[in-house]
């Protein structure tokens, strides 16, 4: 079952603006991951942050993790129309190898 | 290139027939693979965990006799939707992860199943 919630559910911005998506989860985790899904396609891994990390960067992506609040955020800077997609957070907990996905944010970047 | 390959990418079948979806791990041996179902504009819901050489583990509410999973080799898992009905129409996605902790998951391209 879904563990977490993401907000906003949908986000529409202009090209060049920054996009911030938030994810909350319920149980303790080993790591939290962010994935991107273009419509009708599989998921592509973006970034993984471990439970002992607080911030991580990858290109135009910045992820934060606050384990005390059980929340994470994904920031995409200088957005492009090609960033239009659904973004999901996913958590890995304990010895379980499956990921539990958040509800997702649909990002639309207008040219 | 793709690390996990899923086939077919789409299929249309008649009610009552069965459909098989294949998921192949191309880059590493996957003792465990995962099958998800996704409805439009919703998140991924884990259906079952496919274990090489043993029975699959199904999530609560998923009918194991309807969604048959076979993981006969370290690189191939199959999901067969038996006696498909229109309500089984959905997007099915498989994934695999390496054994080590703190690793990403690799996803297949997904299969759009339409039952008419």
* Interface contact flag, B43 A102, Cβ < 8 Å: yes
**Sheet of B19-25: strands edge to edge?**
B4-7, B19-25, B76-81, B67-73
Nearest-Cα distance to chain B for A86, in Å, is 9
Contacts of B83 (CB under 8 A, 6+ apart): B16, B17, B18, B66
**What are the chain A neighbours of B108 within 8 Å (beta carbons)?**
42
The pLDDT tens digits of the residues spanning A48-75 come to 999 999 999 999 999 999 999 999 999 9
A11: which 2 tokens? Answer: 């986000």
* Interface contact flag, A97 B104, Cβ < 8 Å: no
* Interface contact flag, B104 A42, Cβ < 8 Å: no
The pLDDT tens digits of the residues spanning A10-36 come to 999 999 999 999 999 998 999 999 999
Structure confidence at residue A92 (pLDDT): 87
* Interface contact flag, B104 A104, Cβ < 8 Å: no
Q: Average per-residue pLDDT in chain A?
A: 93
Partner residue facing B43 (CB), from A30, A41, A103: A103
Cα separation of the two ends of chain A: 36
Task: Kindly give the confidence (pLDDT) of every residue in chain B, 116 residues in length, as a single tens digit, with 9 standing for 90 and above.
Answer: 679 999 999 999 999 999 999 999 998 888 899 999 999 889 999 999 998 888 999 999 999 999 999 998 999 999 999 999 999 999 999 999 887 778 889 999 999 999 99
* Interface contact flag, A40 B108, Cβ < 8 Å: no
Residue A4 has pLDDT above 90, yes or no: no
The pLDDT tens digits of the residues spanning B42-62 come to 999 999 999 888 899 999 999
**What are the chain A neighbours of B105 within 8 Å (beta carbons)?**
33, 35, 43, 45, 90, 99
Q: Is A52 in a helix, a strand, or coil? A: coil
Nearest-Cα distance to chain B for A14, in Å, is 22
* Interface contact flag, A43 B46, Cβ < 8 Å: no
Structure confidence at residue B59 (pLDDT): 94
Partner residue facing A101 (CB), from B44, B60, B103: B44
**pLDDT band at A1, cuts 50/70/90?**
very low
Q: What single DSSP character describes residue A41?
A: S
Contact B16, B65 (CB under 8 A): no
Structure confidence at residue B1 (pLDDT): 67
């Amino acid at each position: 079952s879904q563990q977490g919630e993401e907000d906003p559910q949908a986000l529409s911005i202009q090209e060049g603006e920054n996009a911030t998506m938030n994810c909350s989860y319920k149980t303790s985790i080993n790591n939290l991951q962010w994935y991107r899904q273009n419509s009708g396609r599989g998921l592509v891994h973006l970034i993984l942050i471990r439970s002992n990390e607080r911030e991580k960067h990858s290109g135009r992506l910045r992820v934060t993790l606050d384990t005390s609040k059980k929340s994470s955020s994904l920031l995409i800077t200088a957005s492009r129309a090609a960033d239009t997609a659904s973004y999901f957070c996913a958590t890995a907990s304990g010895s379980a190898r499956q990921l539990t996905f958040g509800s997702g944010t649909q990002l639309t970047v207008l040219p | 290139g793709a690390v996990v390959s899923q086939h077919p990418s789409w299929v249309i079948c008649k009610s009552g027939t069965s459909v098989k979806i294949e998921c192949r791990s191309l880059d590493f041996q996957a003792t465990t693979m995962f099958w998800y179902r996704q409805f439009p504009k919703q998140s991924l819901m884990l259906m079952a965990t496919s274990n090489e050489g043993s029975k699959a583990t199904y999530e609560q509410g998923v009918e194991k006799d309807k969604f048959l999973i076979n993981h006969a080799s370290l690189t191939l898992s199959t999901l067969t939707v038996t006696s498909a009905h229109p309500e089984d129409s959905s997007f099915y996605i498989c994934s695999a992860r390496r054994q080590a902790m703190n690793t990403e998951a690799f996803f297949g391209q997904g299969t759009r199943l339409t039952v008419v």
